[in-house]
């Protein structure tokens, strides 16, 4: 906890600076609302339950998309990592799914899956897919040639080598991909809602924009940021738990 204190102090200073500057310079609430006003709207939204519904929707979309994208990404990463021929054949297409602007796909997803949650989940999954493919493929190459020879000497077949050696050896790399994915997932969900959502935090930002309600938008920014940090921290804790044996002995 102690090492977080400077960070928190800096945050308080920045927030204070924001409030003071807005008041001194008499900035219009449409451009930058005062912190106090934003917090009031935020508090109000939480008390009345108006925000909770949107938080719930966005969270569900984020997590569904995240789990879907990570699972498919992991599976594809293993397949491509294990089969050189398949990798040569499919890699350009995997890369294409990543470089195509996912937002540009939004409208077609809306045609395919309709407005609402499904389209957003698909966009989110597509965003999470790539870091997992990439990191799984890289992770599977982590095990040294000597360790592979060891497994060959011990009579382990391809499947056992994959499950007992390559995946465990690559797990730290794979988990780094998961950490990237969870952050991208929230971005994906919010942006997905911009295009096709009627509910959720992203949709609420669009709605607030329609009402020229900058104060609400700032409140939503804060909510999304807090949600992102929360998801990231949960993933980090999960990773620490999963890799607890891997970390043993790093510091004696």
Partner 1 sequence: MVQQIGWLPMMTDTTFFNFDEASYAYENGNTILSAIDWLIPEGAFHCLVGRSGCGKTTLLKLAAGLMHPTQGQVRVKGQLVKGPSQKVGFVFQTPELLEWLPVIDNVLLPISLHRSVQAEDRDNALELLESVGIVDLAKRYPRQLSGGQQSRAALARALLRWPPALLMDEPFAALDAITREELQDDLLRLVSLRKTTVLFITHDITEAVYLGDQVVVMEQGRISRVVKIDLKAPRGINFRYESSFSAHCQSIREAMSKKMSEEV
Per rule CB under 8 A, count of chain residues that contact partner 1:
23
Distance (Å) of CA 35 to CA 23, 44, 131, 210: 10, 14, 36, 21
169-198: which residues touch partner 1 (CB under 8 A)? Answer: 169, 171
Distance (Å) of CA 26 to CA 12, 18, 23, 75: 21, 12, 5, 55
SS3 237: helix
Distance of alpha carbon 211 from alpha carbon 60, whole angstroms = 26
Is position 240 an interface residue for partner 1 (rule: CB under 8 A)? no
Distance of alpha carbon 197 from alpha carbon 55, whole angstroms = 13
Choose between 62 and 161: whose C-beta lies nearer to partner 1.
161
Taking CB under 8 A as the binding criterion, the range among 24-32, 157-165, 181-189, 229-237 that sits at the site for partner 1 is: 157-165
Site string for partner 1, 101-140 (x = CB under 8 A): ----------------------------------------
Task: Give the chain's length.
Answer: 252
Minimal distance, residue 134 CB to partner 1, in Å: 22
Choose between 222 and 243: whose C-beta lies nearer to partner 1.
243
Choose between 2 and 250: whose C-beta lies nearer to partner 1.
250
Phi-psi region of 100 (alpha: psi -120 to 50; beta: other; left: phi over 0): beta
Is position 154 an interface residue for partner 1 (rule: CB under 8 A)? yes
List, as own/partner pairs, every contact residues 82-85 make where C-beta atoms lie below 8 angstroms and the sequence separation is at least 24, other chains included: 82/140, 82/158, 82/162
Choose between 167 and 224: whose C-beta lies nearer to partner 1.
167
* The dihedral sign for the CA sequence 172, 173, 177, 183: positive
Taking CB under 8 A as the binding criterion, the range among 38-46, 62-70, 143-151, 198-206 that sits at the site for partner 1 is: 143-151
Is position 250 an interface residue for partner 1 (rule: CB under 8 A)? yes
Distance of alpha carbon 44 from alpha carbon 50, whole angstroms = 8
Task: Give residues in contact with partner 1 (CB under 8 A).
Answer: 144, 146-147, 149-156, 160, 164-165, 168-169, 171, 245-246, 248-250, 252
């Amino acid at each position: 906890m102690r090492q977080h204190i400077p960070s928190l102090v800096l945050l308080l200073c920045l927030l204070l600076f924001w409030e003071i500057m807005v008041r001194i310079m008499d900035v219009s609430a449409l451009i930058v609302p005062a912190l106090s006003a934003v917090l009031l709207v935020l508090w109000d939204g939480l008390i009345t339950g108006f925000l909770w519904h949107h938080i719930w929707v966005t969270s569900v979309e984020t997590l569904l998309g995240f789990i879907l994208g990570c699972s498919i990404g992991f599976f594809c990463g293993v397949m491509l990592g294990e089969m050189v021929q398949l990798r040569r054949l499919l890699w350009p297409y995997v890369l294409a799914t990543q470089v195509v602007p996912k937002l540009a796909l939004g409208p077609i997803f809306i045609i395919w899956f309709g407005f609402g949650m499904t389209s957003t989940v698909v966009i989110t999954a597509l965003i999470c897919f790539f870091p997992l493919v990439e990191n799984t493929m890289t992770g599977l190459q982590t095990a040294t040639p000597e360790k592979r020879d060891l497994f060959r000497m011990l009579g382990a077949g391809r499947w056992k080598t994959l499950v007992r050696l390559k995946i465990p050896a690559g797990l730290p790399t794979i988990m780094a991909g998961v950490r990237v994915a969870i952050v991208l997932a929230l971005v994906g969900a919010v942006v997905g809602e911009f295009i096709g959502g009627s509910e959720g935090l992203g949709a609420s930002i669009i709605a607030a924009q329609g009402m020229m309600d900058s104060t609400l938008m700032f409140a939503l920014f804060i909510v999304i940021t807090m949600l992102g940090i929360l998801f990231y921290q949960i993933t980090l804790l999960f990773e620490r738990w999963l890799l607890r044996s891997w970390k043993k002995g790093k510091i004696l």
